[in-house]
Structure 1
Amino acid sequence: MTRALIIIDYTNDFVAMDGALTAGQPAIALEDRIVELADTFNHNGDYVILPTDLHTANDPFHPETKLFPPHNLANTWGREYFGKLQTWVDTHKDEDKTYIFPKNRYSSFANTNLDNYLRERGITEIDLVGVVTDICILHTAVDAYNLDYDVTIHPSGVASFNQAGHEWALDHFKNTLGFKVED
């Protein structure tokens, strides 16, 4: 069965210590695991999907403008993938089973063609990694649940800037959504 690894928002703004909305050291610690999973999925002939936040500074119509500082702005260092993931993307971005697209909401499904993309390829099983556990990972996971995907969350591949929120989300994935929460 074909699977997809979905790497959410693993960018400089969310990960690097000087990123605009960084999860800092907990997010940096994910780097090797995320690249290892991407290599494994790629080697197995599965898909690697990278939905990535894209914003416009001071957009008066976007709700995040009131909640967070400007982040993941188009054509900035902050929107580039963090560390080794950028190298991985540079190597694999033109491959048929690597799919990169912008998103403008917390969920990778909202306002995107992700559901169609997965269904067209017969993918019903997805693995989620990236940041932030209790925001973009959570909202993507809830939408995946509502769309009947079989989901695995890799605890060694997700992080947040809010440890209590991170732990709550991991519990919610397992005990409310019934997802596999394992590495």
Structure 2
Amino acid sequence: MERKYAVLVVDMLNDFVTGALKCDRGLAIVPKTVELLKGCREKGIPVIFCNDAHLKGIDHELKLWGDHAIAGTRGAEVIPELELSDKDYVVPKRRYSGFFHTDLDLLLKELGVDTVVITGLHAHMCVRHTSADAYQLGYDIVVPKDATDSFTEEDYNMGIRYLKEVYGAEITDVDSFLASL
């Protein structure tokens, strides 16, 4: 049976790459993420941005991380290098997971998706929690290891290992994934 993919781009936002919660390692994954999105868009694979869009002074996560990705601000916008397209989808989120109290699952079901390709920041937090919910909802998971990262190498390795061992995520790289399509 042929897989029906969608790419989930988690928190590749100005505040995470260059702003309030800047992750220098996030800059390193931009070229491979651009390559992945270009290849998937050419193949008609949906691209869905799962973006923090916090409510200032309200969201629980802000207590731990401080103000970042506040809805309606430049910090909550997708980095320009990823060239958000009018054919892409944007799912705002207020917690780590792209699924938690959002319509991501409904969108994926309406698109007929059975396999999510999860990219972005951070492998041990938002990518991990989005993967957890994807797994619980019955989606297969693919993680291109060169299109996701974390604040540190240790956090990244822990996150990738956890995704593989606990959710059975297929760990690959962008070139191998695109070649498999």
Same-fold call, TM cutoff 0.5: yes
Structure 1 runs of 4+ with >4 Å offset: none
Equivalents in 2 of 1:66, 1:103: separation in Å? 16
Task: Check conservation: 1:23, 1:132, Cα contact below 8 A.
Answer: no
Gapped regions of structure 2 (runs ≥ 5): 174-181
Gapped regions of structure 1 (runs ≥ 5): none
Matches within 5 A, 1:42-53: 42-53=41-52
Matches within 5 A, 1:1-183: 1-16=3-18, 19-24=19-24, 26-59=25-58, 62-85=59-82, 88-89=83-84, 92-93=85-86, 95=87, 98-183=88-173
Task: Check conservation: 1:3, 1:126, Cα contact below 8 A.
Answer: yes
Deviations 1:59-104 (A, max 9, x none): 2xx221220110001222211222411xx11xx22x2xx2112111
Deviations 1:104-144 (A, max 9, x none): 11100001111111112211011000111111000000111
Task: Check conservation: 2:91, 2:103, Cα contact below 8 A.
Answer: no
Equivalents in 1 of 2:112, 2:129: separation in Å? 22
- Secondary structure of the equivalent of 1:71? coil
Aligned residue pair count? 171
Task: Check conservation: 1:155, 1:170, Cα contact below 8 A.
Answer: yes
Equivalents in 1 of 2:13, 2:102: separation in Å? 19
- Secondary structure of the equivalent of 1:127? strand
| Deviation for aligned residue 1:23 | 1.6
| Deviation for aligned residue 1:148 | 1.1
Equivalents in 1 of 2:164, 2:131: separation in Å? 11
Equivalents in 2 of 1:33, 1:40: separation in Å? 11
2:179 is aligned to none
Equivalents in 1 of 2:71, 2:167: separation in Å? 34
Q: Provide the aligned C-alpha RMSD in A.
A: 1.2
TM-score if structure 2 supplies the norm length?
Answer: 0.90
| Deviation for aligned residue 1:165 | 1.9
Equivalents in 2 of 1:48, 1:80: separation in Å? 15
Task: Name the amino acid aligned to 1:53.
Answer: D
